[in-house]
Amino acid sequence: MDPLSDVLSLLKPQSYGAGGFAVDGDMSIQWPKHTGIKCYAVVSGQCWLSVEGVPEPVLLKAGDCFLLPRGLPFCLTTDLSLTPMDFHTFLAERKFESTVPCREGSEWYIVGGYFVLTGSHADILLKFLPPIVHIRKESDKATMRWSLERMKEEVRNPQPGSSLMAQQLAYMMLVQALRLHLAEGAKGGVGWLFALADQQMRTAITCMHDDPGHPWTLQNLAERVGMSRSVFALRFKATVGTTPMEYLTRWRMLLAGDKLKHSDDAISVIASSLGYESDSAFGKAFRRIMGCSPRQHSRGSIPPTHTSSTIETSYRDPRELAAIGGPFERHTNNS
C-alpha cells in the first residue's frame, strides 16, 4: 500500500453514518462538539459554515466538499443574520429526520458521512489538518463528481444495500478530499501528509512503510531517492518535521502498537519483525514513543491522547445518536 493508505488502515476509520439532509427555506442550526471526522458535499443550494475558532465563515456552494476533522462546534446557516437554533432544540421540535431523503426544490441539500477513528493515535492524521478542509476548485469538484452523484442517487432512491453503498461512497469521498487537500496545500505545509506531495520524500517514506523491519540508515535511504546523505537529511527534516530515523522509529512503534492490540504475536516476535534484535531495545523505543510499555499497551493500559476515538454516550435518542457526527447522516450503526 501507499503511505496514505497505510495510515488510514492503521487508524481504521469506521463509517458511523452516511446519507443526506435537505432543508426548505432559511435555517440556522448550531451543532455541539463532536468526535471523529465529518466529510460532506453540497449537492444543491448554498449555505454558510461557521466553525468555532475560525475567524471567517465559509460559503459553501453546490459541488463544494468539506471536511471537519477537529471536532469543533459548528453552525450551518442560509443567512448569517439569523440567530442559530441549538441542535437539540431543533431535534426536539422534530424538524430533523435522519432518514429523510432529498426533496426536489429544497433550499439546500448535502450528502456525506461521519467517521470515527477506531485505531489508536488518531493525532498522526488529524494534527496535520486544519479545522475546515474546503474543496472548491472546479477541477477538484470534477474529481469528486462521480462519488457525489452516486451518493445522491443512493440517498434519493434507496435500494437494497443502499446503507452499505452510502458508507463506502462516503469513505471514498473522504480519501478523495484528503488527496485534493494534499495536492492543494502541499506548498509550505510541514508534516508527513504534505511530504507525500514531494516525489523524493514520498519515495523515502514508502520505503520505510513497505519494509519497516529493514535496517534502514540515513545513507541507504538517501541512495534510494538519489540524494546525498546531508541534503536528504535536511530536506526530510524541513518537509516532514522530524528526522528520517525518528520518523522510522515512530512508524515502527505505531505498527507495533497495532499488532499488540490485534494479534497474538509475542513481544519478541513483533520486535524482531520491526528490526529490533533485543526486547529491551524495542521496549525502550516503544515506551519513549507510545508512553507506556509494550505489555501495558497490549493489556489496554494506554495513556489518553488529545484525540478521542470514542462516540459520546450521553445521547439516548437513536436519531440524536445518528446525528451526533453532523446534521445529515442516515443512521447506519453496525455495532
Nearest-angstrom CA–CA distance, 195 and 102 = 39
Residue with cell string 522509529: 249
DSSP assignment of 310-334 equals: S--S---SHHHHHHTT-S-PPB---
Q: What is the pLDDT of residue 301?
A: 57
Using DSSP bridges, classify how beta strands 28-31 and 85-86 pair: parallel, antiparallel or unpaired. parallel
Residue 315 has pLDDT above 70, yes or no: no
Domain ranges of the chain: 9-187+315-323, 192-298
- What cell numbers appear for 327 in the block? 446534521
> Is 82 in contact with 215 (CB distance < 8 Å)?
no
Report which listed range, 162-166, 182-186, 319-323, is most confident. 162-166
Query: Does residue 292 contact residue 284 with C-beta atoms inside 8 Å?
Result: no
Residues 255/292/69/310 CA torsion (nearest 10 deg): 100
**pLDDT for 25:** 80
CATH of region 9-187+315-323, choose from 2.60.120.280, 3.40.640.10, 3.30.750.24, 2.70.98.40: 2.60.120.280
pLDDT at 195 over 60: yes
pTM score: 0.71
d(CA 309, CA 230): 39
What is the three-class DSSP state of 215?
coil
Q: What fold is seen in the domain 192-298?
A: Arc Repressor Mutant, subunit A (1.10.10)
CA quadruple 22, 28, 33, 36: dihedral sign: positive
Q: How buried is 11 (Cβ within 10 angstroms: 0-12 exposed, 13-18 middle, 19+ buried)?
A: buried
Residues 254-276: what's their mean pLDDT?
A: 94
pLDDT tens-place string over residues 8-56: 887 777 766 777 777 778 889 898 888 888 888 888 889 999 999 999 9
> In this predicted structure, what is the pLDDT of residue 286?
96
Read off the pLDDT of residues 244-258 as tens digits, 9 standing for 90 and up: 999 999 999 999 999
Write down the pLDDT at residue 287: 95
- Mean pLDDT across 186-190: 64
335/329 Cα distance (integer angstroms): 16
Cα–Cα dist 235/241, whole Å: 10
Tell me: pLDDT of 101 over 50: no
